[in-house]
Amino acid sequence: MDSRLDAIKEAVLARSPGELEFHQAVDEVFQSLAPVHRRHPEFLDAAVLERLCEPERQIIFRVPWVDDAGRIQINRGFRVEFNSALGPFKGGLRFHPSVNLGIVKFLGFEQIFKNSLTGMPLGGGKGGSDFDPRDRSDGEVMRFCQSFMTELYRHIGEYTDVPAGDIGVGGREIGYLFGQYKRITNRYESGVLTGKGISWGGSLVRPEATGYGTVIFTEQMLKTQGKSIEGQRVVVSGSGNVAINAIEKAQALGALVVACSDSEGYVVDEAGIDVALLRQIKEVERGRLKEYEAQRARVSYVQGGSVWDVDATVALPCATQNELDGDAAARLVRNGLLAVGEGANMPSTRRAVTVFQEAGILFGPGKAANAGGVATSALEMQQNASRDSWSFAHTEQRLATIMVDIHDRCAATAESYGDPGNYVLGANICGFVKVADAMLAQGVI
């Protein structure tokens, strides 16, 4: 079995040379799938894996726009529509200078399994651009978004493909994208994008959902060992939307969150990160984390370096892919780590995951632990379809139920495949089987 899977994987990788992050994501999933194929040989006969690894459609386009100085700028736009077996393609848009096809494909590939795990009717996709919104004016961001949507609009729709945010794409960008979509199509089609503003079709809890969900998932993992997040010493990487809301939820549940980071450095605040101050700096002023130090006593700011040098019993990587390597993992393990909940997509390297698993650390992979964001996007789509809007409490309760459910299904799947506590195996198999069943039922497409 393993050699048949290896041959399929090698062909997939050879067909996408140089797409390193995509290779990493494919490799990780394939490592979990031998036992499924022993149980379900029909998946091999139907070439499910070969089909699953080849996106249904990939769109790459030029995004020309004019900056504040009147100069013409060119960026590259992407939308990878990976798999629609379970529903319309669904996944965020990332605006970051590092974005390339390999990164969009890794994110889109992971999204298929994540979305399947939510239990909601969602296919998988991802998109974005190498545009860097940092230090751009609102006007520049608006003109970029309008140009991006001027191509993207023809590929998306409520029943086709439903983008949302990711790194560099928040409420502001979704607003500009939605406005341009509406203008071009002459349709107020709320269900075409999620992460909308609350007064024009957005859902309460959507901004908080990824971070909150990551903490709820982590709490569920700790519970299986009779522990809780209350009283834990938590380190969070990042200080964007996912990180801030993970910090808020962890603190609400009684944890002490002592550190967070951005691309320039990290802060250690032994009294517990002041979330209101962090929100003011990062969300209102769009500033740098460095400014936190100037506004609060007894805080240390470390320029450069790694936030994973700070001891923690719970680590929540909420920044970006491959930010936590094997050495950092080993150091955390030596210093008393109990659990890792991935708020970002693939933040731990392959080596780091191995270190955590060999040490018996509770490890919640991103495609399970951070699925609360896209699950709440599905709740936003439900509200849009019924022209309804739910209260914060009701929506948060739905999110909590979904996260507990995802945790329990991953745990039960790992157990049924003979590796209890292995959430990587549980998430990959549980996510995969549902998609594979649907693909079999829908024929060779």
User: Which residues bind to ligand GLU, rule: CB under 6 A?
Assistant: 90-92, 114, 164, 166, 194, 345, 373-374, 377
Strand order in the sheet with 362-364: 300-303, 265-268, 256-262, 233-237, 314-317, 339-341, 362-364
> Which residues have a Cβ under 8 Å from the Cβ of 238 and sit 6 or more positions away?
260, 261, 262, 317, 318, 319, 320, 343, 344
Please state, in angstroms and rounded to a whole number, the distance separating the CA atoms of residues 72 and 50. Answer: 41
Give the residue with the Cβ less far from ligand GLU, 32 or 376.
Answer: 376
Shortest Cβ 366–ligand GLU spacing (Å) = 8
Burial of 188 per CB tally in 10 Å (0-12, 13-18, 19+) = exposed
Helix, strand or coil, per DSSP, at residue 106: helix
Which amino acids are annotated catalytic? Answer: 126
Shortest Cβ 88–ligand GLU spacing (Å) = 11
Please state, in angstroms and rounded to a whole number, the distance separating the CA atoms of residues 251 and 229. Answer: 9
Residues in the chain: 445
Helix, strand or coil, per DSSP, at residue 127: strand
Where on the phi/psi map is residue 443: left (φ > 0), alpha (ψ -120 to 50), or beta? left
Shortest Cβ 294–ligand GLU spacing (Å) = 32
Give the residue with the Cβ less far from ligand GLU, 162 or 255.
Answer: 162
Shortest Cβ 427–ligand GLU spacing (Å) = 13
Burial of 214 per CB tally in 10 Å (0-12, 13-18, 19+) = buried
Helix, strand or coil, per DSSP, at residue 370: coil
Q: Is residue 64 within 8 Å of residue 74, measured between CB atoms?
A: yes
Q: Tokens for 436? A: 């594979």
Element (H, E) at 356: helix 350-358
Shortest Cβ 373–ligand GLU spacing (Å) = 4
Q: Tokens for 224? A: 């299986």
Q: Tokens for 98? A: 């590092």
Give the residue with the Cβ less far from ligand GLU, 162 or 267.
Answer: 162
> Which residues have a Cβ under 8 Å from the Cβ of 417 and sit 6 or more positions away?
35, 36, 425, 426, 429
Shortest Cβ 333–ligand GLU spacing (Å) = 27
Shortest Cβ 210–ligand GLU spacing (Å) = 6
